[in-house]
Structure 1
Amino acid sequence: MNFPFFIARKYFLSGKKKNFINVISIISMIVVAIGTMSLILSLSVFNGLEGLLRSMYGNFDPDIVITPTAGKSFEFDSSYVKKIKSIEGVVGVSEVIEDNVLVEYKEAQRLVRMKGVNRDFDQYSGIKNVMVSGSFPLVRDSIGYALIGRGVQYDLSLSLRNDFYTLQMYYPKDIGPGVINPSKMYNLLNIIPGGIFAIEKYYDDNYVFVPIEFAKELLEYGNKISSMDVYLAQEKDAKTAKTDIQEILGSSFQVKLGEELHSDLYKVLKIEKLFVFLILVAIIGIASINIFFSLTMLVIEKKKDISILFAQGAQPKLIRNIFLYEGCIVAFSGALIGLILGIGISLVQQEFGLIGMGMGSAVINSYPVKIEVLDVALAILAIIIITIIASIQPAIKASRSFSTHTLQ
């Protein structure tokens, strides 16, 4: 006769060593729960960090950057802007002049990366979202101002409240032989500090934004520019716009998405996330060894009972499935608890920021987290595979034991 699954399972999952085996199973469940919780939390933190970086760099970088394939500048042609703006979803194009200059404020000097931009920058750039003092935009009442990174401000001891001092910018001229007057070896222009921004250490310590007219005069660029920044509507797909722009401009220009400027950093984050995932999955795999041992001990203890079931008509498949089922109960119970705890803690952290960064100079006060469905799905898939691997050998051994053991 064929025994119903639940009757056969209840028949031999009891005995003198039941409590000991249950203790091992509970320990396995707890370790799987802790491993699963750690896996979800770690992946959520990496997602949060990546999202934070994209948000910070998104305030500085445009959606698309156009640079010349050769050289650091090119002759500006207004037809380029007209063609680019004709693409659906393009809302702004800013001509850019960018180079290193020497700045001086009172007695302090240092090199900075000056970036000259036009009015589309004022309208569409995310810099206005990260201003910590002063005013935006760059041009107000026909007067040009400089937006200065917070690190540059600290180095120069610059104060926006002092109207008696301007920011002096120096750039070397392209001079010929025989010039001995130092004042003719460089260009010097003054500009009023208008605001301070804070994005990320590299940008804060290096960048100063100025109106493009000021940059052209200081660098004597004439009709040349360094690059063009393109701003898109939120609903516009950036990759499609990139392809359209590249077709218009041809091979003389490089067209990159704003996020591609930091592709190496994002790649490192993804590699670190992958290794963390593999390490934690390995820990869960080690924890599943307890499941293997508990099922193996159960098989050894119940050899006689299993043989009785076979003698009464139970099929090998039924016995095998019972042990697989037991392994799944332990692993999936632990995984479910771990998922609930991991997702719950992540949501609490996301909402209230209970765990701080521990640094007063940090960009944000607490660890950023972001739960992604794909991470949860991968964690569940990994646990299913680990559970099957840990349970299959004891289950097969149990299903074959009737052929090697007879009733005593």
Structure 2
Amino acid sequence: MNLPFFIARRYLFSKRKKNFINIISILSMVGVAFSTAALIIVLSVFNGLEDLLRSLNDSFDPEIKIEATTGKSFVSSKELIKKIKKIEGVKLVTEVIEDYAYVHYRDANQIVTLKGVSDNFIEQNRIPQENITQGKLRLKQGKINYAVVGQGISNTLTLAVEDPMFALQIYYIKDVKAGVTDPSRMYSKMNIVPGGVFSIIQYIDENYVLVPLDFARELFNYGNKRTSLEIKTEDGVSIDAVQSRLQDSLGKTFQVLTQEQQHKDLYRLLKIEKLFTFLSLTLLLCIGSINIFFSLMMLAIDKKKDISILAAIGASPRLIRNIFLAEGALIASSGAVIGLVLGGIFCWLQLNFGIISMGMESSITQGYPIKISWVDFAATLGIVSVITFLISSRPAVLASRFASPQQL
């Protein structure tokens, strides 16, 4: 057995009557355990929130989105669409015109994001049937155009999908030259029948109205211009590989974005919050580990006689130093293992039983989302190891000095 760890274990787990130093060591272990458990739980919650946001955004966002590098729109042509469809891994190309519009329904009004999509949008299966709360997911039926409205907009407008007597009146403010006094030339207006209501995530539900591409093109007077092209890839292909091929083919005129890149600011903010939370809890772990420093300092003084005896029988200062480093490692590692187990058990209970609720009846999920990542466990163990080494170094050096000839 490793001699420093054997002696350190005897000091920590001695069966003799516990003294004040043993009590401080146990309290140090408990402090490390709770700090470690808190760190694992909070990091797992952040992982769960990120996964939840991804799943909700990914259900509405395209796998790949093509936009103009500069400007709001670009000219689309049959040749461009054919060029994109020939790229290996591309299954569907949906043309999109998206802009703000003003919606009036009965006595209610709202500013919305009107998204005109080509007929193959439904084939992308981005709005599952279980997310349709009223009506049907349809954009056209014969010559009739239908709008699919977010749940939040439907609530604001008190929309009655089954009532054919009222249509959505949609207005778009034109860019007009100075001096125009005729109000009818300042905006365009079109009516459309509400065909369905969807519910995905609050931001989308409160802002988006889906309409056929031809309807949006006429309302916005876009002609052959589009604001984006949305790509669905073949099953089993690498989205990153398809993105790379599309970017190489289209050049610098277009930017090709994956789902994460479409919300890069949101995910970057979430990662920054997770980082600062990790640093804050690491500071708490440092504070909780200070007790290790004091317990080792008092142990070094208390065991001064033992150290002198070890030195007399040939123990080197390095061996003495390693004993106290091992003592600190045992205290911290025991607390860390207990904390990891407690944190893991809590995360498992939350994941399977949702023991802590979000506290909102309208929330997407009843319990706080949790995702256990072994990277967090490894990072936490690494942080505990570094903190323990730094805190144990000074008491270990002090103890090794007691083994010098001057101290004998």
Question: Please, what TM-score do these two structures have when normalized by structure 2?
Answer: 0.91
Which residue identity does 1:144 align to in structure 2? N
Aligned partner letter, 1:187: S
**1:225-274: CA deviation from partner (whole Å, max 9, x where unpaired):** 22111122453333322221122112222222232222111111111111
Map of 1:252-271 to 2, 5 A cutoff?
A: 252-271=253-272
The separation in 2 between residues aligned to 1:203 and 1:9, in whole angstroms, is 59
Aligned mates of 1:12, 1:80 — CA distance in 2: 76
Asked if the contact 1:12/1:306 (under 8 Å) is kept, the reply is no
How far 1:176 moved relative to its partner?
A: 7.2
1:212 corresponds to 2:213:
yes
Contact 2:307 2:402 in 1 (8 A): yes
Kindly indicate whether residue 72 of structure 2 is the aligned counterpart of residue 45 of structure 1.
no
Tell me the distance in 2 between the aligned counterparts of 1:342 and 1:12. 28
Deviation of 1:275 (Å): 0.9
- Residue in structure 1 matched with residue 166 of structure 2 by the alignment: 165
Structure 1 residues 142, 19: CA separation in 2 closer, same or farther (over 3 Å shift)? farther
* Equivalent pair of 1:60/1:125 in contact (CA under 8 Å): no
In structure 2, distance between residues paired with 1:138 and 1:153: 17
Residue pair 2:135, 2:162 contacting (<8 A) in 1 also: no
How is 1:2-401 mapped onto 2 (pairs within 5 angstroms)? 5=4, 8=7, 18-128=18-128, 130-140=131-141, 143-172=144-173, 182-183=183-184, 185-233=186-234, 235-401=236-402
**Aligned residue pairs, count:** 405
> What is the CA–CA distance in structure 1 between the aligned matches of 2:182 and 2:6, rounded to whole Å?
103
2:196 & 2:368 partners in 1: Cα distance? Answer: 28
Shift of 1:182: 4.5
Distance 1:9 1:302 in 2: 11
Q: CA deviation at 1:16?
A: 8.8
Whole-Å Cα distance in 2 between the matches of residues 11 and 321 of structure 1? 14
3-state SS of 2:19 partner: helix
User: Is the deviation greater in 326-335 or in 5-14?
Assistant: 5-14
Contact 1:115/1:210 (<8 A) preserved = yes
Give the match's secondary structure for 2:127. helix
User: Retained in 1: the 8 A contact 2:316–2:403?
Assistant: no
- Contact 1:62–1:231, Cα closer than 8 Å, also in 2: yes
Q: CA deviation at 1:173?
A: 5.2
Question: Aligned-pair distance for 1:141?
Answer: 5.2
Percent of aligned pairs with the same amino acid? 48
What letter matches 2:121 in structure 1?
Answer: F
Q: Is the 8 A contact 1:149 1:205 kept in 2?
A: yes
* 1:145/1:191 contact within 8 Å kept: yes
Structure 1's consecutive aligned runs of 4 or more residues displaced over 6 angstroms after TM superposition are 10-17, 174-180
Tell me the CA shift for residue 364 of structure 1.
2.1
Shift of 1:69: 2.9
CA shift, 1:372, in A, is 1.4
Q: In structure 1, what residue type is equivalent to 2:119? A: R
Q: 1:98-150: per-residue Cα shift (whole Å, max 9, x none)?
A: 11222111122222111000133111142236333321132345643211112
Asked if the contact 1:304–1:406 (Cα under 8 Å) also holds between the matched residues in 2, the reply is no
The 3 A distance-change label for structure 1 pair 180 and 323 is: closer
Q: Distance in 1 between matches of 2:304 and 2:5?
A: 18
SS at match of 1:402: coil
Which amino acid in structure 2 is aligned with residue 322 of structure 1? I
Q: Report Cα offsets for 1:332-368 as digits up to 9, x if no partner.
A: 1110011011111112211221211112332322211
- Name the CA distance, whole Å, in 2 between partners of 1:309 and 1:392: 20
Q: CA deviation at 1:160?
A: 1.6
Q: Residues 289 and 390 of structure 1 are in contact (CA less than 8 Å); yes or no, is this contact kept in structure 2?
A: yes
The alignment yields a C-alpha RMSD, in angstroms, of 2.5
Equivalent position amino acid for 2:306 in 1: D
1:144 aligned counterpart, secondary structure? strand
| Aligned-partner Cα distance in 1 for 2:304–2:7 | 14
Which amino acid in the other structure matches residue 385 of structure 1? V
Q: Which runs of 5+ in 2 are unaligned?
A: none
Classify the secondary structure of the residue corresponding to 1:368: coil
Partners of 1:299 and 1:93 in 2: CA distance: 72
| 1:358 partner amino acid | G
Taking structure 1 as reference, are residues 15 and 92 closer, same or farther at Cα in structure 2, changes over 3 Å only?
closer
Partners in 2 of 1:6 and 1:206 — Cα distance?
Answer: 63
1:89 to partner: Cα distance: 2.1
Cα distance per residue 1:137-195 (max 9 Å; x no partner): 32345643211112211221112232221112223456678976655554332221122
Any stretches of 5+ residues in structure 1 without a counterpart? none
**CA distance in structure 2 between the partners assigned to 1:319 and 1:182 by the alignment:** 91
d(CA) in 2 for partners of 1:9, 1:385: 19
Q: What is the match of residue 402 of structure 1?
A: 403
Distance across 1 between alignment mates of 2:239 and 2:273: 26
Residues 10 and 189 of structure 1: CA distance in aligned 2, closer, same or farther (over 3 Å): closer
SS at match of 2:355: coil
Deviations 1:300-341 (A, max 9, x none): 011112111111222333322222221111111110011011
**What are the Cα deviations for residues 213-234 of structure 1, in whole angstroms up to 9, with x where unaligned?**
2212222322222211112245
CA distance in 2 between counterparts of 1:360 and 1:282 reads 35
Which whole-Å CA distance do the structure 2 matches of 1:136 and 1:101 have between them?
A: 21
Partners in 2 of 1:218 and 1:183 — Cα distance?
A: 14
CA contact (8 A) 2:5 2:326 kept: no
